Structure 1
Amino acid sequence: MGLGPVKAVIKALEQAGMSLRDVDLMELNEAFAAQSVGCIREWSVHYGMTEEEILEKTNVNGGAIALGHPVAASGARILVTLMHELKKRKLTYGLATLCVGGGMGTAVVIKSC
């Protein structure tokens, strides 16, 4: 776990031809608070953004620590939360990411229609 989402996000955004600046909202399923801090610091350096800029669009309704971390359903929870929030705010691009045991991570970019 830990920083797995960092590289997953970079790869997903590269494949979409996007930067983190292009993302309207992001759901980061943090396994623990320090993980979010580490990921956001790494993205800040990589994308030349302040940590505050990233935080403004991340887990706008609270993260897994506040909302829950359902075993085997975390991905579904963050993706559905992201889709509803994009629609509610009339925004376009979302990014969902989570860590996986063993240091891996996954990420997906979505576009609201």
Structure 2
Amino acid sequence: AVPIAAKHAKLNVKDIEYHEINEAFSVVALVNMHLMNLDHSRVNVNGGAVALGHPIGMSGARIVGTLIHVLEQNDATIGAASICNGGGGAGALILERL
């Protein structure tokens, strides 16, 4: 979902400075880091859902809120939040900090 969202934002995945990838399972972030060749130090930098929690019904809100804080903490501009769903799909959004 991240490459598609990046394309819609007229960006390349490499333009994204930080990623929040929801971990419904620990392997989700690891597979996405491998598939998109992401710098591990820029993914779930404050810990993912395994460390911070997986709040039922608001996991998407948690990762977006965390991403906003990560962008502010690191004086960064572009971030991506992504989450998988139980049906095999996924969603992503690109944030630009102004």
* TM-score range normalised by the length of the shorter chain: over 0.9
- AA aligned opposite 1:65: V
Aligned position for 1:90: 75
Aligned position for 2:45: 60
More helix, by proportion: 1
Aligned position for 2:22: 29
**Aligned Cα root-mean-square deviation (Å):** 1.1
- AA aligned opposite 2:41: E
Q: Number of residues paired by the alignment?
A: 98
- Structure 1 residue runs of 4 or more that deviate by more than 6 Å after TM superposition: none
Aligned residues of 2:22 and 2:28 also touching (Cα < 8 A)? no
In structure 2, how many angstroms separate the alpha carbons of the residues matched to 1:104 and 1:30?
14
Where relative contact order (Cα < 8 A, 6+ residues apart) is larger, the structure is 1
Alpha-carbon offset, residue 106 of structure 1? 0.3
Structure 2 spans left out of the alignment, 5+ residues: none
Structure 1 spans left out of the alignment, 5+ residues: 1-7, 45-50
Alpha-carbon offset, residue 103 of structure 1? 0.4
Between the aligned residues of both structures, percent identity stands at 39
Aligned position for 2:13: 20
